[in-house]
C-alpha cells in the first residue's frame, strides 16, 4: 500500500509551502538556530551541492550552458551555477521555495567590480512533471526522496527527456542503516516529519535510466551522520 495516488504530491507541495519551507530554509541557510541533527544535514547537503558542481564543471566551462534545476529549493545549486555563467532554469513545486530562491539570487548575484553581472536564473513555480523544453543538463538534487519507486521511473524518464547531454540526480540510498533510521523516524513522527521519505536503490535508478536509453557514467556517495545521498551523473547510451 505504498501507492496513494496523486495525494503524495499535494502533501509534499503543502509541506514545502508551510512547515517544510521553514525547516528546510533554516537547514539550507547559514544561521545558528539549528539543532545538531539539522546542522549535520546542512553539512551533508552542502557536500552534495559541491560535488554536483564539481561534476558539472568537469566537462569544461559552464558559460552559456543551459541547466534545468528541477526542485530547486532555496537555490543552493542554481545560484552558484549562475555565478559560473550557466543559463539556469530553476523550478520548484513550492511557491515559497521559489520566492526564497529568487530573493537569495537577487542578493547574491550582484555585479562584480568590472561591471559584469551573472545572468539571473529564470525562476518558475512548477512541478517537475510539467516541465518541458530541452536543456544541455538537467539536475535534480534530493527530490527523489518524495517519490515512491512506482512514480520514480516516470519521473526519471521525464527528466531524461528534457536533457540533451546529461542528467545529475541525487537520492537517499536504500541501505540497511538508512532504512533503519527511517523506520525510527516513522516510529516517532515529530511535527517536522510531515512527509514520507522514500529510499531508492541504485539498481532501481539505473534500471529506470536504461529503460529510456541512459546510463550512469559517474557516481558518488555522500554521508554524514544523518544525511545520506547517492549522486549520479547519467548520459545517453
Ligand atoms: N534541490 C534543492 C536542493 O538540493 O537544495 C532542494 C531539495 S528539497 C529536500 C526538495 C525540494 O523538492 C523541495 O523544494 C520541494 O518543494 C521540491 N519538490 C518536491 N516534489 C516536487 C515535484 N514533484 N516537482 C518539483 N519540485 C518538487
Q: How much distance in Å is there from the Cα of 71 to the middle of ligand 1?
A: 4
How confident is the model over 156-176, as a mean pLDDT?
A: 94
Q: What is the DSSP letter of 120?
A: P
**Predicted confidence band at 111 (pLDDT cuts at 50, 70, 90)?**
confident
pLDDT, residue 187, reads 65
Q: What is the pTM of this model?
A: 0.93
* pLDDT(3) > 70: no
Cα-to-chain-centroid distance, residue 168: 9
**Count of all residues that appear for the chain in the document:** 237
pLDDT, residue 189, reads 56
Q: Is 12 in the pocket of ligand 1 (CB under 6 A)?
A: yes
From the list 236, 232, 92, 230, the residue with the least C-alpha distance to 164 is 236
d(C-alpha 47, C-alpha 53), whole Å: 10
* pLDDT(4) > 60: no
Q: Is 16 in the pocket of ligand 1 (CB under 6 A)?
A: yes
Choose which residue among 139, 146, 193 to substitute to test ligand 1 binding: the one with the highest number of ligand atoms within 8 A of its C-beta. 146
Taking only the tens place, the pLDDT of each residue in 119-165 is: 999 999 999 999 999 999 999 999 999 999 889 999 999 999 999 99
Residue 20 corresponds to which cell in the numbers above? 517544510
How confident is the model over 27-33, as a mean pLDDT?
A: 96
* pLDDT(5) > 60: no
Q: How much distance in Å is there from the Cα of 13 to the middle of ligand 1?
A: 9
> Which DSSP string do the residues of 150-201 spell out, in sequence order?
HHHHHHHHHHHHHEEEEEEEEE-B--HHHHHHHHHHHHS--TT--S----B-
Taking only the tens place, the pLDDT of each residue in 39-55 is: 999 999 999 999 999 99
How confident is the model over 94-118, as a mean pLDDT?
A: 90
The count of C-alpha atoms lying within 13 angstroms of the C-alpha of 67, restricted to the half-sphere facing its C-beta, is 34
**Predicted confidence band at 196 (pLDDT cuts at 50, 70, 90)?**
confident
Q: Which ligand 1 atom is the nearest neighbour of the CA of 76?
A: 5
Asked if ipTM goes beyond 0.90, one says yes
Amino acid at each position: 500500500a505504498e501507492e496513494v495516488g496523486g495525494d503524495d504530491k499535494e502533501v509534499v507541495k503543502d509541506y514545502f509551502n508551510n512547515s517544510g519551507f521553514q525547516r528546510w530554509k533554516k537547514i539550507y541557510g547559514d544561521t545558528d538556530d539549528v539543532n545538531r541533527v539539522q546542522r549535520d544535514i546542512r553539512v551533508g547537503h552542502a557536500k552534495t551541492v559541491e560535488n554536483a558542481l564539481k561534476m558539472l564543471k568537469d566537462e569544461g566551462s559552464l558559460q552559456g550552458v543551459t541547466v534545468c534545476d528541477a526542485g530547486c529549493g532555496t537555490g543552493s545549486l542554481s545560484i552558484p551555477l549562475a555565478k559560473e555563467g550557466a543559463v539556469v532554469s530553476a523550478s520548484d513545486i513550492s511557491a515559497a521555495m521559489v520566492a526564497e530562491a529568487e530573493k537569495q539570487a537577487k542578493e547574491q548575484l550582484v555585479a562584480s567590480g568590472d561591471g559584469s553581472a551573472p545572468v539571473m536564473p529564470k525562476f518558475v513555480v512548477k512541478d517537475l512533471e510539467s516541465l518541458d523544453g530541452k536543456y544541455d543538463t538537467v539536475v535534480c538534487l534530493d527530490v527523489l526522496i518524495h517519490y515512491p519507486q512506482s512514480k520514480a521511473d516516470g519521473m526519471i524518464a521525464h527528466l531524461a527527456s528534457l536533457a540533451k547531454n546529461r542528467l545529475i540526480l541525487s537520492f537517499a540510498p536504500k541501505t540497511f542503516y538508512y532504512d533503519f533510521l527511517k523506520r525510527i523516524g516513522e516510529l516517532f513522527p515529530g511535527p517536522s516529519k510531515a512527509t514520507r521519505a522514500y529510499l531508492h536503490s541504485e539498481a532501481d535508478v539505473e534500471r529506470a535510466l536504461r529503460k529510456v536509453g541512459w546510463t550512469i557514467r559517474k557516481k558518488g556517495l555522500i554521508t554524514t551522520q544523518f544525511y545520506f545521498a547517492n549522486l549520479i551523473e547519467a548520459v545517453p547510451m
